[in-house]
Amino acid sequence: MDAMSAIPTTSVTELPDDAVIVDVREPDEWAAGHAPNAIHIPLGELPSRIDELPESDATVGVVCRMGGRSARAVQWLVQQGYDVANVEGGMVAWERAGKALTADGNPSII
């Protein structure tokens, strides 16, 4: 078993449209479009902003553009004791699934 297979994952179809997720993309990616209830904490800032993670009784999804950075975030957060899951396919999969996006202008991930 490789390290990636041990990372908890969820698909965009398993997440409700109004799910609170943690978006670890860079500010310019966030500005281009994000899930309406997402919390933006860029991957590099996660250790110093860990107290901003949402309190939830359910597993919290973590997302980036395609799933690589969020997988690293999930791996680290699980080690810290958080109940999180990597959103497979990231925001690209979110947009392709027709889920809501919000942005200052015309939201687009792809």
**Residue range of the domain that includes 12:** 4-96
Pick the closest to residue 23 from 10, 36, 14 (CA basis): 36
Radius of gyration (C-alpha) of the chain in whole angstroms:
13
87 domain-assigned: yes
Segment 16-48, tens digit of pLDDT: 878 889 999 999 999 999 999 999 999 999 999
CATH number of the CATH domain containing 13: 3.40.250.10
Flag whether 106 is in a domain.
no
Angle at 11 between CA 6 and CA 100, to 5 degrees: 145
* 38/13 Cα distance (integer angstroms): 16
Q: Give pTM, 2 decimals.
A: 0.90
Catalytic residue among 19, 64, 74, 93: 64
| pLDDT tens digits for range 50-62 | 999 988 888 999 9
Cβ contacts of 23 within 8 Å, gap of 6 or more: 30, 34, 35, 38, 39, 40, 41, 63, 64, 91
**For this structure, is 70 an active site residue?**
no
